[in-house]
Amino acid sequence: MGDPIMPGFPPRLGEPSSEVRLDLEGAFNQLVVEVPVKTPVRVSRQGFLNFVDERRDGGGPRRGSRDVGPDGAPGYRLRLTGAFNRLIVRSW
């Protein structure tokens, strides 16, 4: 089990050197994750009404959110399990 994240402070994740898996389990959770702009983020959802928001501040989709990063770069694999969870992915 990983270390808890302090509420109100979005984790700013760096560029991974290999694939990294993050799991969010439960109900009525919201998590904001900040990643480098071209880092791929893959999300799988299991459960009821789990929502993923990958919009940029300008409203369009975040770059690097597809299955393959630039030159096959490793990324983050996020798994939402439960109900009524919201994952917000932002770039820096």
Span 12-62, pLDDT tens digits:
888 889 999 988 899 998 888 888 888 888 889 999 998 888 765 555 555
Output the six-digit token pair for 61: 């989709």
What is the C-alpha to C-alpha distance for residues 30 and 28, in angstroms, rounded to an integer? 7
Those residues whose C-beta lies under 8 Å from the C-beta of residue 21, and which sit 6 or more positions away, are 76, 77, 78, 79
H/E stretch holding 80: strand 76-83
What is the C-alpha to C-alpha distance for residues 38 and 36, in angstroms, rounded to an integer? 6
Evaluate if residue 10 carries a pLDDT over 90. Answer: no
In 10 A of CB 36, how many CB atoms?
A: 16
Output the six-digit token pair for 7: 């509420």
Q: What is the 8-class DSSP label of residue 9?
A: S
What is the C-alpha to C-alpha distance for residues 76 and 87, in angstroms, rounded to an integer? 13
What is the pTM for the complete model shown?
A: 0.68
Q: Mind listing the pLDDT tens digit for each residue in 61-88?
A: 555 444 445 566 788 998 999 999 998 8
Q: What is the pLDDT of residue 68?
A: 45
Q: What is the pLDDT of residue 7?
A: 58
